Amino acid sequence: MSPACSDRRGLTAEAAHATVGGMTELTQENWRRVDAYFTDTLVGHDEALEHAVAEQQAAGLPAIEVAPVAGKLLHLLARISGARRVLEIGTLGGYSTIWLARGIPADGLVTTVEAEPVNAAVARASIDRAGLGDKVEIRIGRGEDVLPTLAGPFDLVFIDADKESNALYLDWAARLGRPGTVVVVDNAGRAGEVADPGESSPQLDGVRRGLEVLGTDPRFDATALQTLDRKGWDGVAIAVLTDVVEGFDDAVEP
């Protein structure tokens, strides 16, 4: 690589170190370095988001919020799609909720569904503190109970809750969306286990059933990308709702 090329890419001395020998090997140290580089270069620091993570940790919630690069992806997808109404299934401590709420206009609304009241309380405080209280409604209850009470259409749906229910949540995403609605599913790769026929668990099988829905149900057109970020090796599935969602109820009703 020429020095000019290196300069243009803005590699820091630390990042350049990973390419010594002209080849970057996929070691944990190296991919973590790349994630840190992307995060530092493109995402940066944000007090409200970092406070939300700290509050989540202090409350004893699991540290399974999306990575900063993935939060920024959700934010960009909301903006790129011009979303005004967002449905999030799985609020946790509100980290991804804040990213999404910042990606919609002032009169937009994120409806986020959370089964655990303690999680919802932590999220509510962090969302309000971020100045986004008017843009987020939290619906407390299990997805299977809350989703039938919601009215669409939503412009973007983010599914990041109990993996066992991914197929059910995708069905609700299709019912509550419209042609063109963006659907994002977290945790599509699960450290490679999704493609390992020797691995099985209720969560993993739920992830697989969700991906099968995305691949076979005509209401979706989808892909998935592997991710290597702060949370390790996983993946994200991204879909759009097709024209089939219009009239789908007619098609299944007798």
Residues contributing to the site for ligand DHB (CB under 6 A): 64, 160, 186-187
Region near Mg ion per CB under 5 A, out of 77-85, 187-195, 216-224, 236-244: 187-195
Residue 252: CB minimum distance to ligand DHB, A = 30
Q: Is 186 in the site for Mg ion (CB under 5 A)?
A: yes
Q: Which residue has its beta carbon closest to ligand DHB?
A: 64
Q: Which is nearer to Mg ion, 222 or 236 (CB)?
A: 236
Q: Which residue has its beta carbon closest to Mg ion?
A: 186
Helical (H) or strand (E) element with 226 = strand 220-229
Strand-by-strand arrangement of the 109-114 sheet: 136-140, 109-114, 85-89, 156-159, 182-186, 232-241, 220-229
Q: Is 187 in the site for Mg ion (CB under 5 A)?
A: yes
Q: Which is nearer to ligand DHB, 160 or 217 (CB)?
A: 160
Please return the burial class of 253, using the count of CB atoms within 10 Å of its CB with bins 0-12, 13-18 and 19+: exposed
Q: Which two tokens stand for residue 81?
A: 């799609």
Q: Which does 88 bind (CB under 5 to 8 A by kind): ligand DHB, Mg ion, none?
A: none
Helical (H) or strand (E) element with 168 = helix 166-176
Q: Which is nearer to ligand DHB, 186 or 217 (CB)?
A: 186
For residue 15, give every residue at least 6 positions away whose Cβ sits within 8 Å of its Cβ, in sequence order, or none: 33, 34, 37
Return the residue matching tokens 């997808």: 77
Residue 160: CB minimum distance to ligand DHB, A = 5
Q: Which two tokens stand for residue 188?
A: 């599509």
Answer for the pair 185, 227: CB distance below 8 angstroms, yes or no: no
Residue 56: CB minimum distance to ligand DHB, A = 13
Q: Which is nearer to ligand DHB, 95 or 172 (CB)?
A: 95
Residue 144: CB minimum distance to ligand DHB, A = 17
Q: Which does 35 bind (CB under 5 to 8 A by kind): Mg ion, ligand DHB, none?
A: none
Instruction: List, as one string, the DSSP characters of 71-83.
Output: HHHHHHHHHHTT-
Residue 47: CB minimum distance to Mg ion, A = 23
Candidate residues 55, 155, 160, 217; the one interacting with Mg ion per rule CB under 5 A: 160
Query: How far, in Å, CA of 100 to CA of 236, rounded?
Result: 16
The contact set with Mg ion (CB under 5 A) reads: 160, 186-187
